[in-house]
Structure 1
Amino acid sequence: MTEPSALSLIPPVVVLSLAIWLRRPMLALIIGTLVGLMLINPSPSYLLDQFSTISVDVMQDPTIAWLILVCGSFGALIALLVHAGGAMAFGQSALKITKSRKSSLLMTFVLGVVIFIDDYLNALTVGETMKRVTDKYRVSREMLAYVVDSTAAPICVLIPLSTWAVFFSGLIENTGSASVGEGITLYIQSIPYMLYAWFAVLMVLLVCLGIMPNIGPMKKAEFRAHPRSAGAMHVNHAELTADPYAVEAINAEFANQQIEHGKLYNFMVPILLLVGSTIYFGVDIWKGLLVTLTFTIIFFSAQKLIRLDDMMKQMFDGFQTMLPAIGIVIAAFMFKAMSDMLGMPQYVIQSLMPFMSPALLPAIIFVAMAILAFATGSSWGVFAVTIPIVMPLAHSIDANIPLVIGALLSASSFGSQACFYSDSTVLAAQGSGCDLMGHALTQLPYALIAAFMALISFLVLGFYF
């Protein structure tokens, strides 16, 4: 790792600029990684050697292996549910409950709150489950993805039974801020101060209710999606939205549907089993997916819905549909590894240390970590590096520890939701059948409003405590 300097800020600026300009986040991340390596050593041999090393190290990372298995297997499961007609049956049943655009969005919100155990499971399941319902009322795919993303990380952060609580309570214990087994207690004490998550959830609820108006790019996306008449369930899907990604996704999905009049239980039973088994195995999605896929194959075979060889083909096709999302997350991990080599987290924290005081620390930590999470696309990895720096500092100046942890988790959930290439953003767009950059740009104004409200609140609470 090189000595931390302002040069470490150049790669994220390059990535964000290229992602917006080219609308190709994977390419932007790879170019940003190469730019960062060139800042360390412009030698072609060094560039080739380090890029090769980073790519191999990332592919050997247990998190990446887990993500490939989870995302690919979820794609395989959804392909089976669509092919058997269960997904369409759920959409038709949900339409009997939802009577308007507002109720379809509220149903999406409620489902996002219910599936709180993990942001990956939330982002993939809710979008895939609800997009047929919201399509009927001509809700833009961008709006659907925003609701899904806003009830993924922000909800998971606020529930102490989620994977986020397990991960961050472990980090808290590793810093010595809590004894072994007490990290979750300190985490729970910090939940009231996870202000970004609270404001993000409030914001999306107000949007679903129509109290908060559509603003910025979202206003344009919603205008494109609203038709002259709502139509029936089997609408002309090419007219749903101007987003070509969404048109391609839904046309491909309906083309793969084998049974026109599917049964609702062929969708609900596997989905409920997935959630239940994930919780049963200690919030382990991979084990939950293994159980659910095995059960679904047997369940469909017993009904003679689909031949076994056809099921295998659909599963492989479903796995393949997740490869673009997986590729972006892999590129984001490579970019994060390069950022660590440049010392970007250390540079940002060191630059802000002279301004830190017990009153200002929560607000400064929220801003600094939110920038880091947004720039690196890492809502977990960057915190494993910076929490051991931040927590001892908080103790040394006698800051309010639950408030500081609340600021850290607020910054993490902001990065997860707002970053163009974070795993949660990528999966929310994938599950909703929405273009990634379209989703990222339309939800950004709402995320920034929630972040500004959180910042003001941290300033007030910092001086109050």
Structure 2
Amino acid sequence: MLLFVGFRHPGEIIAPAFFKEVLYVDYGFLSLVPPVLAIALAVLTKNIIVSLFVAVFVSSVILADWNPFLGLTRMIHDYMFNAVAEDINMQALFMMVVIGGFVALLTKSGGASAFTSAVTRRIDTRAKCETGIWLGGLAIWFTDNGNSLIVGPIFEALAEKLRVSREKFSYILDCTTSPICALIPIIGWGVYTMSLIQPELDKAGITTSTDLSVFMAAIPLNFYAVLTLFMAGLMAVTQWDYGPMLRAQNRAMKAGETIRAGGTPMRAEAQADDLPAGVTPKIYTMVVPLVVLLTVMFSYLTYKGLWHTKVAGSEIRTGVAAGFMVGTIVLIVICVLEKIFSFNRCLSIISGGWANMMFMCVVLVLSWSLSGVSSAMGTAGYLLRVTEGWLNPSILPLLLFLIGAIMSFATGTSWGTMAVLFPIGLPMAISLNVSLPLTSAAIISGGLYGDHCSPISDTTILASIGAASDHIDHFETQMPYGTTCAAISGVLFLVAGWLPSAIMLVLGAVALTATVYVLHKASVRKIGQIRVPGGEAGKNL
């Protein structure tokens, strides 16, 4: 009979509590079933929940001596139930729900759109308009899915007047969705990512680092996210467009055709701030709840000694949850006093936000379960044994970045990609003594790149909707820009494998600027550039 084991460190054997006697079992290549099956199904089915569920179930059947019924019951009892029962995991699920409710009401209340509207003043050139779109996207840092639907409609008329192509419009919107959210620890993105990091630290018995410390240290190493934000601003300010994007910009400037003739604009069925008649959005509707949220959170963490001692992860999560809860209450009061929504309508919107987070909560539980079966089958240990002859620890970040990019491009989900790769990549990094922040950043960056360029990604689709752009045109013009940024990021991850330093980000920004300039000049020589309405480029467009 097969018994299952797991690894905290190479050579160390652990087992679930219900085994009184433990025997070493080497599953060999079967230990690759959890990650390989999850990745393969994610690519084939485009459904991350089905992929994770099947991978966990099949792995549990193997662990149960190929007994399907026993495998099913053990999957539920020993992995899913245990995953949810873990204090840190339950805290993460609670925070996801609280954050979802706050973001839903904040988006619907109109405060975010009023805040973004403020940056449209004194904008009289295309470069200024694109820069305003970029700044507006950065301001809406608390939601990736809602970002494009908030910023897009506000700038639509102005972008049309100043002849910003819909392709460039949607590109900037897309750049300021997930890439910025992936850098913020106190919103759903950060909470989700940290909830994938902490279980691996716990399994490895690491107490010197926490999920928050790893996440924060990974921010300057998250090359694709930071460079994408930088590149979007660079392209807006300098107008150094190239390739298909330059053709689109020339078309818009020459004849005012912001969308290609024959193109089909994507339209949102409802605006993100669908307010009652007569209600004018106010900036303070967003600013006050956010200020209260941050004040409550940091006041609690300061009380717990944030600035002079190590604060427990549970206390950090308590502070974050408390901040969002109080922020939500304040937002409800504002909505009722300003007659934006009734109290019952506020509760309805909040509960809708909770429901929207259920998908990610399910993904989290399945990801934690995948981590459990991978540990039980010794996946990390087997990978170390079969790769010890050729896998240089320094290339692990680059490898994870590339795998993540392929997965997320094929599936259209960065969160699903991270759910699969974190339980595999972090144990390998721990065993190979590779920087955990760098490894985490590589997984996040890979997921972001694929998701950013994937035509089936929700944020890509929403960017097309927000800019009223033809979706395929958005995809085709954004791909070269995203790939340019990814190529620089890949080199940085390779170099950082030997020298994991934040200085790499500065070098990357310089290299990206130079690369963009060269590509721009090459495109201008080939097709020309029109800088004034009705002008000529002197080339066939």
The aligned amino acid for 2:416 is G
Query: Deviation per CA, 1:97-156, whole angstroms, max 9, x where unpaired?
Result: 54466545534544666787xxxx353675465233244436565752332222222x44
Query: Deviation per CA, 1:356-400, whole angstroms, max 9, x where unpaired?
Result: 44xxx3323331366369758364895476545424533xxxxxx
| Higher RCO, Cα 8 Å, sep 6+ | 1
- Is 2:100 the counterpart of 1:68? no
Q: Percent same amino acid at aligned positions?
A: 12
The equivalent residue for 2:23 is: none
Of 26, 37, 49, 1:10 maps to: 37
The equivalent residue for 1:34 is: 54
The equivalent residue for 1:45 is: 69
Query: Deviation per CA, 1:398-423, whole angstroms, max 9, x where unpaired?
Result: xxx7xx456314313214524659xx
Query: SS at the partner of 2:42?
Result: helix
C-alpha deviation, 1:174, in angstroms: 9.7
- Is 2:147 the counterpart of 1:123? no
The equivalent residue for 1:22 is: none
Of 121, 129, 134, 1:96 maps to: 121
- Is 2:344 the counterpart of 1:312? yes
The equivalent residue for 2:403 is: 371
Provide the TM-score with structure 2 as the length reference: 0.57
The equivalent residue for 1:269 is: 288
C-alpha deviation, 1:67, in angstroms: 0.9
The answer to whether the 8 A contact 1:345-1:382 is kept is no
Distance in 2, matches of 1:58 and 1:150, equals 29
* Pairing of 1:130-145 with structure 2 (within 5 A): 130-136=151-157, 137=159, 139=166, 143-145=172-174
- Is 2:363 the counterpart of 1:331? yes
Query: Deviation per CA, 1:24-51, whole angstroms, max 9, x where unpaired?
Result: x4xx532552255236537653565356
The aligned amino acid for 1:202 is F
C-alpha deviation, 1:219, in angstroms: 9.9
The answer to whether the 8 A contact 1:374-1:414 is kept is no
Query: Deviation per CA, 1:191-225, whole angstroms, max 9, x where unpaired?
Result: 76554444334343344444354769x999xx99x
Deviates more, 1:171-180 or 1:265-274: 171-180
- Is 2:107 the counterpart of 1:78? yes
The answer to whether the 8 A contact 1:373-1:415 is kept is yes
Distance in 1, matches of 2:51 and 2:195, equals 34
The equivalent residue for 2:330 is: 295
Q: Which of these two proteins has the greater Rg computed from alpha carbons?
A: 2
Give ranges in structure 2 of 5+ residues lacking alignment: 5-26, 161-165, 302-315, 408-414, 501-541
How many residues align structurally? 410
**Residue 268 and residue 362 in structure 1: after superposition, are their counterparts in 2 closer, same or farther (change >3 A)?**
same
**Residue 414 and residue 111 in structure 1: after superposition, are their counterparts in 2 closer, same or farther (change >3 A)?**
same
Distance in 1, matches of 2:293 and 2:463, equals 19
- Is 2:445 the counterpart of 1:414? yes
Query: SS at the partner of 2:268?
Result: helix
Query: SS at the partner of 1:377?
Result: helix
Distance in 1, matches of 2:475 and 2:371, equals 24
Query: SS at the partner of 1:123?
Result: coil
Distance in 1, matches of 2:203 and 2:177, equals 32
The answer to whether the 8 A contact 1:135-1:240 is kept is no
- Is 2:378 the counterpart of 1:341? no
**Residue 331 and residue 229 in structure 1: after superposition, are their counterparts in 2 closer, same or farther (change >3 A)?**
same
* Pairing of 1:218-237 with structure 2 (within 5 A): none
CA RMSD in angstroms, aligned pairs only: 5.3
Distance in 1, matches of 2:82 and 2:199, equals 24
Distance in 2, matches of 1:450 and 1:12, equals 24
- Is 2:178 the counterpart of 1:149? yes
The aligned amino acid for 2:285 is N
The answer to whether the 8 A contact 2:150-2:273 is kept is no
The equivalent residue for 2:432 is: 393
